[in-house]
Chains A and B, each alone.
Chain A
């Protein structure tokens, strides 16, 4: 049984891996774009709540998130 199923399993794993490797950069880029905005925007919001500087921390955080996110996006896009 293992000898018979091995080619199928390894074959489908290989295809899966192939597809993920090709989709990898896109997945990284998209999530780092959203992740940067969420992380830095959230950080700015927390700073606001801690220091009471209402909109400015959030705004700066979102802006920094956009810049960092697009920078990471550009790095993955322009790599090849």
Chain B
């Protein structure tokens, strides 16, 4: 869905001042959308941090969202549970009630049927962590926090060109829309599959279990490489699905909203843009946003469900 006419994403943050001048000349929908969806460039991260062990620890906007969501989820859930455990009578109320409902739901209807009663307590915490983190990251990505901060900055604060606020507000961000984030999550699943199989059957038996038993030996020459490659494909499919779904919604909403500016330019009248906005763009964008709320939930659910299914497949082998 990328527009062909966008410039290289790495140059964009640096060209922000020029982009303001460009805006007077013409509206480039592709550039706006890519700038919104892409990570901030490495030359202008939000926060410069030193390079340790060859890894640049600078905080770009996706890294910022990642840390923000992780901290928020950790604090919210640990404080709620701690406060609940400190009570005299263990009756959940309010947020704890909802939390308990979700935890029980995931443990009993995602982990238990797939993993089996013996290993529920081993794998439920991991699957729950996946679910809460992905759901939180997806939901926070839907809320245009930084656009609001940007508006306040534009009209009230007037911070400098490369200040912290200016660097942060380049577009809304979904941490799970970054392929690196989802790849990391899927890598955890990948390692968990191996650990689950090893715990249940022993290390060597786990690898033997990968291929079906009782076939003619020439088939194994064909099947073993295919199964080994399939082992990598499953987490890769997880990576792709989550990141693509999270990026796609943002691109669709922005593309539809940019009709307003494109039509304004096309007919050289603000009235055309406004009427397209009122009649087409805004209702459609609201609809897609509503759809996104479902997608956010479904993708968090699907990732956790499939992780549980894959872990379960390593434990309950049936060929």
Contact = CB atoms under 8 A, between A and B. Distances in A.
Contacts of B220: none
**Is chain B's binding surface mostly helix, strand, loop or mixed?**
helix
A10 B237 CA distance: 29
Contacts, number: 60
Interface string A1-41: 01000000010010011001100100110011011101110
Interface stretch (B50-58, B224-232, B273-281): B224-232
Interface residues of B, number: 21
A64 interface: yes
Interface string A57-70: 00000001001110
Interface string B199-233: 00000000000000000000000000010011011
B107 interface: no
A60 B185 CA distance: 28
Nearest to A32: B237
- From DSSP, what is the main secondary structure of chain A's interface residues? helix
A72 B302 contact: no
Interface string B22-52: 0000000000000000000000000000000
Nearest to B298: A20
A3 to B, nearest CB: 10
Interface of B: 97, 101, 105, 109, 226, 229-230, 232-234, 236-237, 240-241, 297-298, 301-302, 305-306, 309
